[in-house]
Structure 1
């Protein structure tokens, strides 16, 4: 008998997959994300969607919040730590719609959000992805 996924994973299972994706990053990158908090939520809230100009919660699978390494300052006290937010329901919807392995999808989102931690824009990351193909 195989150990196959037969139901949608809960937030804790997604968090384990995300932590595994972070562990697969090269060591020099893992050292630079020390202190970044990983948070799995069911879906983005209405206020965030409005702030981002999105109508559909399923359009947002992950988000980086906080200062990037380029903006970090020892003088910035009282701020929340940098966070990577993963949104469980939108991730599961994309997983079903695309047929991409869930581990690969989560890794893609994690790498994208880590890119924001390093100060890369969406355009920078798309250009890097295009070069890698």
Structure 2
């Protein structure tokens, strides 16, 4: 018969290792969540966080990104690079004055794009090229 104290110590060790592994996985999952946004599943919520420029790093599995009601005035054109799973991008209620060529080039799956309540006097160079699945603008 095995020593009960030894079995208890071994069990605690295994539990501690499992907890440590879960904490590491959780930390890696949110590693690219822009501060002070909240990231839950495939949603990145940066609503009304006081941004003056859009963050440039998001979790790679992001499908819904809410950047509405900030003070974003300029977009460089690379903020959304690599977000190939994006379905919904909310940029309304900012001060965006232009959309750079290619800003949405990786967002072919996107269905919803919110741009109202910005300062877009006109849209040149077809910034929506490549948005094959866009249903709501």
TM range (shorter): under 0.3
Structure with greater helix percent: 1
After TM superposition, the score normalised by the length of structure 1 is 0.21
Mark the structure with the bigger radius of gyration.
2
